[in-house]
Structure formats: structure tokens, C-alpha cells
Amino acid sequence: MNANGARLAALTKELWQQWQQTRQYWKDSKSEEFEHKYLDELVAGVDKTVMVIEQLDKLITKIRKDCE
């Protein structure tokens, strides 16, 4: 499960890097609005999700150990 969280984080990082390249050519109020409305929220949501996935992974590992 933790691998999925790492993949999600990596894909989000790649998206952010692509956005930074796009921002070199798209520099107006709409690009700022897009970033704040969608990308900032997406990155924050992914960060929280990755933390939850890590916690779930620890919990599942503990449950497996307890069941052995």
C-alpha cells in the first residue's frame, strides 16, 4: 500500500514540475487563479492522502504481526 502513496506523491511532484514549466509561458491572472484554485488544493490533498496511506500501511503491518 505504501508503494501506492509513493507513486501518488511522485506523480503529483511531476505534475507540479510540469506546471512550473507551463508558468514560464502562461503568466497572467488566470494562471495564478488556476494554480490557487486547483493545483494548490490538489497538492495539499495529496500530501494529506499520502500521510493517511502511510498510517494505514503501518496499521495493516501491525494487524498482520498481531495475527501471526
- What is the tens place of the pLDDT at every residue in 21-65? 999 999 999 999 999 999 999 999 999 999 999 999 999 999 999
pLDDT at 9: 94
Q: How many domains does the chain have?
A: 1
Distance between CA atoms of residues 59 and 26, nearest Å: 44
Q: Which domain holds residue 30?
A: 2-67
Q: How many other C-beta atoms are found inside a 10 Å radius of the C-beta of residue 5?
A: 19
Beta-strand ranges (E) seen in 1-68 are none
pLDDT at 2: 78
pLDDT-derived band of residue 14, with 50, 70 and 90 as boundaries? very high
Q: How far is CA 45 from the centre of its chain?
A: 6
